[in-house]
Amino acid sequence: MTIRSMDNSADITATPVSNIMVVDDDVTFCRVLSNAFSRRGFEVCTVHDSADIIAVAELYMPDAVVLDLRMPGVSGLEMISPLRNINPDIRILVLTGYASIATAIEAIKLGAVYYLTKPADADEIIARLYEKDGNPAAPVKNELLSARRVEWEHISKVLMECNGNISAAARRLGMHRRSLQRKMNKHPVRH
């Protein structure tokens, strides 16, 4: 765990979020994001081990959490409800390199305020954390998804609906189980 003190020269009295907890098993990514937030006047705490998330949140009481979706031992989705139990007003942003429509919907249903794919810069994350009632503080990048990305999203959604059962998902998709496994073994398609 790393806690950095807030830069007293920055005026953040009007900001709705003043301390942020960054949760990611990638130590380098946490350090870069933590430094970027600190330069913008935020107090930052980082957590690299999923076993420490709740204990650190109870001690640190963050206003916002940037939560990695895939951590060893636990899914970021599983941590949303316990974090909201600690502070019902906490603003949780799920950040992932493995985005799918199904996980985005699930994250929002569980109480996350936003879902972003990596790489995301600190300014975009802060804008989403400040977002109120669908009005972002900064413009959102509207990018069209490729046909391969749409296919990946659809497969992810069907697989989630089938509770991870590849055979059932393959039947619903009208494809052979092995074809589905090959598609899933490929990395997610970006845009």
Judge if 171 and 95 occupy the same domain.
Answer: no
Count of the separate structural domains present in the chain:
2
pLDDT at 129: 82
Judge if 101 and 166 occupy the same domain.
Answer: no
Range of the domain at 68: 2-130
pLDDT at 96: 81
> Is residue 110 included in any domain, yes or no?
yes
Separation between Cα atoms, residue 87 and residue 68, nearest integer Å: 19
| Residue 140 pLDDT class (50, 70, 90 cuts) | very low
pLDDT at 145: 55
Judge if 177 and 118 occupy the same domain.
Answer: no
Instruction: Decide which of 152 and 61 is more confident.
Output: 61
pLDDT at 15: 44
CATH code for position 161: 1.10.10.60
Q: Report which DSSP code applies to 51.
A: G
**Residue 68 predicted with pLDDT over 70:** yes
Q: How far is CA 157 from CA 136, 154, 186, in A?
A: 26, 5, 16
> Is residue 41 included in any domain, yes or no?
yes
Judge if 87 and 12 occupy the same domain.
Answer: yes
Overall average pLDDT of the 20-29 stretch = 88
Judge if 34 and 96 occupy the same domain.
Answer: yes
Separation between Cα atoms, residue 186 and residue 184, nearest integer Å: 5
pLDDT tens digits, residue range 42-61? Answer: 889 998 887 888 888 899 89
CATH code for position 11: 3.40.50.2300
| Residue 11 pLDDT class (50, 70, 90 cuts) | very low
Overall average pLDDT of the 133-161 stretch = 61
Judge if 112 and 156 occupy the same domain.
Answer: no
Overall average pLDDT of the 122-130 stretch = 84
Judge if 67 and 119 occupy the same domain.
Answer: yes
| Residue 22 pLDDT class (50, 70, 90 cuts) | very high
Tracing tokens 């970021």 back to the chain, one arrives at 76
Share the mean pLDDT of the chain: 76
Overall average pLDDT of the 129-153 stretch = 57
pLDDT tens digits, residue range 160-191? Answer: 788 878 899 889 989 898 888 887 776 555 55
pLDDT at 49: 82
pLDDT at 41: 86
Judge if 36 and 72 occupy the same domain.
Answer: yes
Tracing tokens 């069907």 back to the chain, one arrives at 158
**Residue 9 predicted with pLDDT over 50:** no
Judge if 101 and 167 occupy the same domain.
Answer: no
